[in-house]
A and B are shown apart, each in its own frame.
Chain A
Amino acid sequence: MLSNSIVALGQQGLAYMAGAGRAGLLLLGALKPAGRGTKLLPLIIKQLYVVGVQSLVIIVVSGLFIGMVLSLQGYTILVGYGAEQSLGQMVALSLLRELGPVVSALLFAGRAGSALTAEIGLMKATEQLSSLEMMAIDPLHQIIAPRFWAGIISLPLLAAIFSAVGILGGHLVGVDWLGVDTGAFWAIMQSSVEWSEDIVNGAIKSLVFAVVITWIALHKGYDAQPTSEGISKATTATVVQSSLAILGLDFVMTALMFG
Chain B
Amino acid sequence: MSQSNNIIEISNMSFSRNDRVIYDDISLQVPRGKITAIMGPSGIGKTTLLRLMGGQLKPETGAVVFDNQDITKLSRKELYIARRKMGMLFQSGALFTEMTVFDNIAFPIREHTELPESIIRKIVLMKLEAVGLRGAAQLFPTELSGGMARRAALARSIALDPELIMFDEPFAGQDPISMGVIVRLIRDLNDALDITSVVVSHDVEEVLSIADYVYIIANKKVIAQGTPAQLRQEKSQQVVQFMEGNPDGPVPFHFPAQDYQEELLNNVK
B88 in contact (CB, < 8 A): yes
A137 in contact (CB, < 8 A): yes
B94→A133 contact, CB < 8 A: no
Given A39, A128, A137, which contacts B94 in the complex, CB threshold below 8 Å?
A: A128
Report the minimal beta-carbon distance from A123 to chain B, rounded to whole angstroms.
8
Interface hits, A116-151 → B, CB 8 Å: 126-128, 130-131, 133-138
A127→B81 contact, CB < 8 A: no
List of A residues within 8 angstroms of B92 by Cβ: 126-127
List of B residues within 8 angstroms of A130 by Cβ: 51, 56, 90, 94
Interface of B is mostly: mixed
B83 in contact (CB, < 8 A): yes
Count chain B residues whose beta carbon lies closer than 8 angstroms to a beta carbon of A: 21
List of A residues within 8 angstroms of B76 by Cβ: 138
A-B contacts, 22 of them at CB < 8 A, read A126-B94, A126-B97, A127-B92, A127-B94, A128-B94, A128-B96, A128-B97, A130-B51, A130-B56, A130-B90, A130-B94, A131-B90, A131-B94, A133-B56, A134-B54, A135-B83, A135-B112, A136-B80, A136-B81, A136-B83, A136-B86, A136-B112
Report the minimal beta-carbon distance from A248 to chain B, rounded to whole angstroms.
34
B96→A134 contact, CB < 8 A: no
For the complex, give the distance between the alpha carbons of A156 and B221 in Å. Answer: 57
For the complex, give the distance between the alpha carbons of A128 and B90 in Å. Answer: 10
Report the minimal beta-carbon distance from B33 to chain A, rounded to whole angstroms.
21
List of A residues within 8 angstroms of B108 by Cβ: 135, 137
B83→A131 contact, CB < 8 A: no
A134→B86 contact, CB < 8 A: yes
B88→A134 contact, CB < 8 A: yes
Q: Contacts A136-B80, A136-B84, A137-B108 known; list 17 others, CB within 8 Å.
A: A126-B92, A126-B94, A130-B90, A131-B88, A131-B90, A131-B94, A133-B83, A134-B56, A134-B83, A134-B88, A135-B87, A135-B108, A135-B111, A135-B112, A136-B86, A136-B112, A138-B76
User: On chain A, which size bracket covers the interface?
Assistant: 10 to 19
List of B residues within 8 angstroms of A134 by Cβ: 54, 56, 83, 86-88, 90
Closest to A142 in B: B111
Closest to A134 in B: B88
Interface hits, B96-143 → A, CB 8 Å: 96-97, 107-108, 111-112
List of B residues within 8 angstroms of A133 by Cβ: 54, 56, 83
For the complex, give the distance between the alpha carbons of A25 and B14 in Å. Answer: 27
List of B residues within 8 angstroms of A131 by Cβ: 88, 90, 94
Closest to A50 in B: B98
Report the minimal beta-carbon distance from B116 to chain A, rounded to whole angstroms.
16
For the complex, give the distance between the alpha carbons of A126 and B84 in Å. Answer: 22
List of B residues within 8 angstroms of A137 by Cβ: 80, 108, 111
List of A residues within 8 angstroms of B95 by Cβ: 128
For the complex, give the distance between the alpha carbons of A39 and B87 in Å. Answer: 22
List of A residues within 8 angstroms of B87 by Cβ: 134-135
Report the minimal beta-carbon distance from A137 to chain B, rounded to whole angstroms.
6
Which 10 residue pairs of A and B lie closest in terms of their CB atoms, listed nearest first? A127-B94, A131-B94, A136-B83, A134-B88, A136-B84, A136-B80, A135-B108, A127-B90, A127-B92, A134-B54
